[in-house]
Structure 1
Amino acid sequence: MTSSKTNLPQVLRQFSRNYLDAFSQAHGHLPLVETDEDWISPCEQGKANENESYWQPVEIAQLDQQQTLTFDNVESALEINLHPDIITYFTTLYSESINASSEDGKLSLLFAWNFDDFQRLQENIIGHILMKRKLKQAETIFFAVTDAEDIIVSLANASGEIWAERVGCKPHKKLANSLADYIGQLTPEV
């Protein structure tokens, strides 16, 4: 498995800064999220009003948190080594989904909002991989949804390539050679 691990965190941080800059220029403030006292996140940056909070992506490595984000339990449960890029992707930033566009259309990059959301994400990845195995398809890990019905963007676990695939089907369109390459070609959509 080849990895763009050294470059990927930098690409993710730059893309999130570009998103925040574009959003702030368009709206004059940080993005908004519905406030949920039972679903708090280090991304929240104060209340905007009674129902919404400002938010921004936060680097997980800079947080003083007691829980470490790893995929050890997923890898152990599935007896698999996850591609290092997908591990890096999901352990670099806490964030709300970030909208983007590419030459193939609009999409939303998925991230964990907090530690509990990271655990839920792991369960979804396990379910996705088990479905792929049941269908006797190569293992992929999703990280984005598109505006096209039932199309997700996934990383091929064996190669690290980025593919579009219909849920439950084999990947059908290669989008990039690596996750860093793919994120680097996206435009923030605000």
Structure 2
Amino acid sequence: MTCLNAELTHQLTTLCQHYVQQFREKHGHLPVVEKDDQWLSPCEQGEYSQDANYWQPVEITDELSFENVEQALGFSLHNDIKVFFTSVYSESFDLTCEEGQLSFVLPWNKDDFDRLQENVIGHILMKQKLKQPITVFFGLTDQDDFILSVNNDSGEVWVEQVGKTAHKKLANNLSEFLGQLTPVIYD
């Protein structure tokens, strides 16, 4: 792992830890997710109630790779995307920056990572069909049909409307963007 990969992983895990810490301070316990015995995750940390479990983001120890996606597409994905999606398993959680509110798209478990790969391929194929620059989504905004993406060539972070060309640059890279974010904890 290169120094930049380690920095991005560290920023993402630190942001996750801040979310959990702030949630605990506000609610007195870990975040809670609805139970689903068919969709288990290493994030789950015990029972909260009959219908819910505690959870927290955890470092991915599985060997996850985008090699199959890159082979199918015939080109390499930007390294920031690969590092982002293979660093932590997590439920979605809310964040804010000066541009508004957002949430990450992170895998919940290994099967979710496989499903994520399929969605990345579908997104890229749509971009190619529309003859638009290749981007890879990594987050959702608080506006319908607007996503956060990384330009596959430059690594820049952009906002784009689904099906449209990215229209607003937010940061030069994913690491810079993560540094602008603050977790949001609701009552």
TM-score bin (small chain): over 0.9
1:113-160 per-residue CA deviation (whole Å, 9 max, x = no partner) reads: 000000000000000000000000000000000111111000000000
Shift of 1:10: 0.6
Gapped runs of 5+ residues in structure 1? none
Question: Are 1:16 and 2:11 counterparts?
Answer: no
The equivalent of 2:52 in structure 1 is 52
1:55-134 residue pairs with structure 2 within 5 A? 55-61=55-61, 65=62, 68-134=63-129
Which of 158, 161, 170 pairs up with 2:153?
Answer: 158
- Structure 2 distance, partners of 1:135, 1:31, is 40
- Between the aligned residues of both structures, percent identity stands at 52
1:35-89 per-residue CA deviation (whole Å, 9 max, x = no partner) reads: 000000000000100000000000013xxx5xx2100000000001000110000
Q: Kindly report the root-mean-square deviation, in angstroms, between the aligned alpha carbons of the 2 structures.
A: 1.0
Gapped runs of 5+ residues in structure 2? none
- Structure 2 distance, partners of 1:70, 1:58, is 17
Moved over 2 A (4+): none
TM-score, normalization by structure 2: 0.96
The equivalent of 1:32 in structure 2 is 32
Which of 164, 169, 180 pairs up with 2:175?
Answer: 180
1:125-144 residue pairs with structure 2 within 5 A? 125-144=120-139
Secondary structure of the 2:6 match is coil
Secondary structure of the 1:33 match is strand
- Structure 2 distance, partners of 1:48, 1:25, is 17
Size of the aligned set, in residue pairs, is 183
TM-score, normalization by structure 1: 0.94
Shift of 1:6: 2.9
